[in-house]
Chains A and B, each alone.
Chain A
Amino acid sequence: MNSLVTIDWLALGPVLAPAAGAVLVLVLDALAPRLARLHFVVALLALLAGAALSVPGTVQPADRPVRTLCLPAPEGACLYEAGPAASALQLVALVAAAVVLLLAWPGAAPETLRLRGGPAVEACLILTASAGAAGVAAAHDLGSWLVCLELATLPVIALVALRGTAAAGRGALALLTTSLVSFAMVVLGAALWVLATGQAVFAGGAVASALADAQRRPVLVLSVLLLLAGLGFKLSLVPFHAWTPQAYAGGSEPVAAFLAATSKVAALAALLVVLGPLVAAQGPVLVAIGIVAALSMTVGNVLALVQDDPVRLLAWSTVAQAGWVVLPLSAASALSVAASSGYLAAYVLATLTAFAVVHVVSTAPAARGVGADRRTLAAYTGLLRSHPLLGGALGLALLSLAGLPPGIIGLVAKVLALRPVVDAGQWTLAAVALVNAVVGVAVYLRWFAVTLRDPDRGPTAAVVRRVPRSAVAGLAVATLLLAATSLMPQLLLGLVD
């Protein structure tokens, strides 16, 4: 007897490897609870295996994606379909998670900053959320799409809450509430999708026929708008962004980095899956995306300009960058998907590097007599001179986010994101982007200028005495990737094309 669906285990690797890793970590925790480092090694290997397995998908031609879980003919729809852009997003999400894992390595941070529940729980949650992120990028039916989307979100709430402080509790609560609201919207949108297209699969044909039908068209448009709103929460797009600074500032820096990197990749990947069949111009949807993009950029940049806590600054910068990420999607252009994924990948690399530096500066063992709050910009005074490598990495990350050479990858990403907008002749949106490019430069240069000052006036020289080795590894990976892609942007952009 033939099985109902065909399964290609290797193709499912990017999702299965982290998921299996999570189970393995739990088993190990039961057998040998004291070997915390071993848990992390297993977790790291699982993530790297997943990342390696996602590479073949990035080199496939766009019209022949990696497929599996296919229903038998005649329908032949596949529930798992990863084109080059989706595979690239999987790769970025898993590599980002690996860097986060290195930053959160047990024993690196002082005891007071450890999460409750022990390292095994932490590693397991990171792995689960990564599996969800990898899954949602390739999910091709509503059921697995919804499950993976929530799988990518819920563990992060726990990660924020596990820090155990009051601020973490507030952040987790904000995240939980918004997740619930967004889940409600997404489910409603999914229901309307089924109503409009008659299928629970994201397929171009059914969507086209629904669009052609005057009665079903508004239902589909409403469904997409609801899905967009729900995903807007996860991407922290204005007006669904309010949780972002709270959750970032509440969690530890590695968790904030995870929220800013892997979670964002999951949300954008989910959005691209929905918009994929909708490539044909969709007036109201495109206008909605455009408005949301413009609002996010403006609000995010303006509020980032007045922050003094680097984590909050990065949180607001995430809001602004999320606007840039969806900006190309507002133009119904063949370039949009690649542009959006490419911009996201560049942003993830830069923001990970920045978070890694923030983590090191905030938690590295302090010299005697330095008890001051290190989550202020003033703590970075003279970092470039007192710690050239930390300062250099931070500088490169900030300039990439600002889109100024030597952070060429950021500049190229901005060109990439603006091209579809100009192509579609959306000059209003282009004008908003222009203003925000300038404000964005002001945001990041403000921080960069602090690192350039004379070190003797700030406390940093004494603050960072010794940097934990695992954090250095995470920082080095992120920085080297950033530097390599700045020299050869094709390394990154070639993945999504």
Chain B
Amino acid sequence: MILVSLVLPAAVAVWLLSAGRVVSHKWDNRITVTATVLTLAAVIVAVITRPEVDRPWVPALGLRWHLAVDGISAPLLLLTAILGVGVVVHSMDRQPSGGTPGAFHACLLLVEFGALATFYARDAVLFFVAFEVVLVPMWVLISRFGDPHDRRQRADAAGRFVLYTVFGSTLMLLGILALVVKAGTADLDVLARAAGHGIPVGTQVLIAALLVAGLAVKVPVFPLHTWLPPAHTTAPTAGSVLLAAVLLKMGTYGLVRLPLATVPDGFQRVAPYLAVLGAVSIIWGGLACLAERDLKRLIAYSSVAHMGFVVIGIASGTQTGLQAALFANVAHGVISALLFVVVGGLKDRWGGTDLRTARAAVREVAPRLGFALVVGLAASLGLPGLAGFWGEFLAVYAAWSPADDRPLALFRTIAVVAALGTVLAAAYALRVARVVWAGERREPLIEDSRDSEWDVASVLVLATLVLGVLPGPLLALTSGSVAALVGGGP
């Protein structure tokens, strides 16, 4: 089932790129929807039955196709597969501009393939290879299918995205190679069980620093976040959704899988710095959102702030913190997907996203879009009862009472700063609501959401509500694996 869920999108993507070039957008989309739905079914079966695949691929490097599912990867796999269907359905009645529909759908499928492979991978080097798979399709999505207004801006955003991430992932590769050479195995399960025994602490710190620095580019953590706003702003809606909801998660997932699990002693030394940078990300992202004039860029900056909470949760070193991080990961995936669907839709309708332009109040002219926007913003500011609340609340709580080997005073300060960050979130969410949603203007009229866009948005709204009201099942799904990783603790 794991292999089915990987081979299917890849094969369909290759077909679309080669033989499927002549097919119309409609049929491309139907085929891709079928492929993603089947992939989703395969992922669900894999999450339930938990199969394992392990066969050699490149013996010269000791590289294996070692794929499995556990509590940490299961939610992210489901998120990826569901959003994979979502973005394709969303582009059903929206002809992509800038290239052939076949290439567009193939890129979406390849991103999904790369993300799934990353979350499945149980081999450190395979993880790296899968990590790199998403780069070129995402680069094509941004540079070819992005914002049609400005070619130079597209090229700049796409180039910046790919160069930053290559820098990060090569840094991570150096860390992985150091780890693999020192530990003598690339098997992530074995590495996690050994938990760094037999590697001197100095080396562990070096490895952890390399891995954290490399992955921090992808997350992204301040000051390595500058690729994110232009990439998000320029990418087409489907690309933004995948970027925010799936690609960023690969960074945080990597933080849990690699430094935290394999070199805990080294990670312990690096964690305080990471947590401080996470806190800075929250404040920086929040302040940028208060000043930002471009709506899409504003949502992108809010992603930086939200990922700051995830990073703090991971750095706290407690079971609660890790649970919070994994929960916030999924919650942010859903919320940011929702917001990008809505904002991308608004951008298409308005022809731009400058907040200073006077426009009709969304509440008045497009109530459905307005409703989805308000739910997204409310979840984003961490309103209890919606998905955003639990992850961020628990992350702040975990920072307040971190693991015994973390500096308490520092983490308490971070908790206070992060809590202040939620105030900023409330401020910018209300600012957006005031400017975009509220008001009396009815000119110029825009069309309300319907058909596929509304389907996707309503499913995401529903998911936001369900995760907010019933966080239990998701927390239970991750708790077993988290306990095995962190061991005891509050």
Contact = CB atoms under 8 A, between A and B. Distances in A.
Interface of A: 338, 342, 385, 388, 392, 399, 404-406, 408, 411-412, 414-416, 418-419, 422-423, 430, 433-434, 437-438, 441-442, 445, 449, 452, 488-490, 493-494, 496-497
A414 to B, nearest CB: 8
Contacts of B173: 414-415, 418
Interface in B175-199: 177-178, 181
B181 A452 contact: no
Given A416-B61, A494-B59, A434 B163 contact: no
A404 B136 contact: yes
A404 B125 contact: no
B63 to A, nearest CB: 7
B60 A452 contact: no
Nearest to A408: B129
A405 B133 contact: yes
B139 A445 contact: yes
Top-5 shortest CB links A-B: A493-B60, A422-B177, A405-B133, A497-B60, A437-B170
A35 B393 CA distance: 83
Given A445-B162, A490-B57, A411 B181 contact: no
B174 A422 contact: yes
18 contacts: A388-B21, A405-B129, A405-B135, A408-B129, A419-B177, A423-B177, A434-B167, A434-B174, A437-B166, A438-B167, A442-B159, A445-B159, A449-B143, A452-B99, A489-B58, A490-B58, A490-B60, A496-B60
A494 B58 CA distance: 8
A445 to B, nearest CB: 7
Given A404-B132, A412-B129, A415-B177, A434 B63 contact: no
B163 A441 contact: yes
A385 B100 contact: yes
B454 interface: no
A405 B128 CA distance: 11
Given A338-B60, A415-B128, A452-B144, A438 B170 contact: yes
A405 B61 contact: no
Interface string B120-144: 0000010011001101100110011
Contacts of A411: 129, 132
B136 A399 contact: yes
A319 to B, nearest CB: 20
A430 B167 CA distance: 12
A415 B125 contact: yes
Nearest to A422: B177
A100 to B, nearest CB: 27
A442 B162 CA distance: 9
Contact of B61 (A388, A406, A412): A412
A493 B59 CA distance: 9
A399 B177 CA distance: 22
Contacts of A442: 159, 163
A411 B129 CA distance: 8
B181 A419 contact: yes
Given A423-B181, A434-B170, 18 more contacts: A338-B60, A388-B21, A404-B136, A405-B132, A405-B133, A405-B135, A408-B129, A414-B173, A416-B60, A416-B61, A422-B181, A434-B167, A441-B162, A445-B139, A452-B99, A452-B144, A489-B60, A490-B58
Q: Which of B133, B143, B144, B177 has the most CB of A within 10 A?
A: B177
Interface in B53-74: 56-61, 63
B171 interface: yes
Contacts of A385: 100
B181 A406 contact: no
A356 B57 CA distance: 29
Contacts of B114: 405
B34 interface: no
Interface string B424-459: 000000000000000000000000000000000000
A405 B136 contact: yes
B174 A493 contact: no
Contact of A452 (B17, B143, B178): B143
A285 to B, nearest CB: 23
A479 to B, nearest CB: 13
Interface in B16-57: 17-18, 21, 56-57
Contact of A449 (B56, B125, B155): B155
Contacts of A414: 173
